[in-house]
Amino acid sequence: MTLNLLYHDNCFDGASSAAVFLRFYRDKVNPRAEVKLVGMAHQAGEQFHAGLFDAEENAIVDFKYCSLEQLTWWFDHHHSAFLTPRDERHFREDRSGRKFYDPSYKSCTKLLDTIARQQFGFDCPGLSELVYWADIIDGALYRDARTAVEVGEPAQKLAAVIEASHEPDFRHEIIRRLAGDSLNRVANGQDVMTRYEPIARQHAGNIRIIRDACRLQDAVLFFDLVGTGMDGYNKFIPYYLHPEANYTVSLMQSPKRMKVGVGWNPWSKAERKHNLAAICERYGGGGHPVVAAISFEASAVAQARTAAEEIVKELRRA
The residue ranges that bind Mn ion (CB under 5 A) are 13, 62, 108, 138
Q: Could you give the CA distance from residue 99 to residue 79 in angstroms, rounded to a whole number?
A: 16
Q: Which is nearer to Mn ion, 16 or 246 (CB)?
A: 16
Q: How far apart are CB 127 and Mn ion at their closest, in Å?
A: 16
- What are the two backbone dihedrals, phi and then psi, of residue 144, each rounded to the nearest 5 degrees? -155, 175
- Say which residues have a Cβ less than 8 Å from residue 254's Cβ, sequence separation at least 6: 231, 232, 298
Q: Which is nearer to Mn ion, 42 or 172 (CB)?
A: 42
Q: How far apart are CB 27 and Mn ion at their closest, in Å?
A: 22
Q: How far apart are CB 102 and Mn ion at their closest, in Å?
A: 12
| Radius of gyration, alpha carbons of the chain | 19
Q: Could you give the CA distance from residue 235 to residue 270 in angstroms, rounded to a whole number?
A: 19
Contact 22, 38 (CB under 8 A): no
Q: Could you give the CA distance from residue 318 to residue 158 in angstroms, rounded to a whole number?
A: 37
Q: How far apart are CB 234 and Mn ion at their closest, in Å?
A: 16
Q: How far is CA 303 from the centre of its chain?
A: 24
Q: How far apart are CB 79 and Mn ion at their closest, in Å?
A: 11
Q: Which is nearer to Mn ion, 79 or 242 (CB)?
A: 79
Q: Which residue is nearest to Mn ion (CB)?
A: 13
Q: Which is nearer to Mn ion, 138 or 163 (CB)?
A: 138
* β partners of residue 230: none
Residue closest to 251 by CA, chosen among 237, 262, 243: 262
Q: Which is nearer to Mn ion, 78 or 195 (CB)?
A: 78
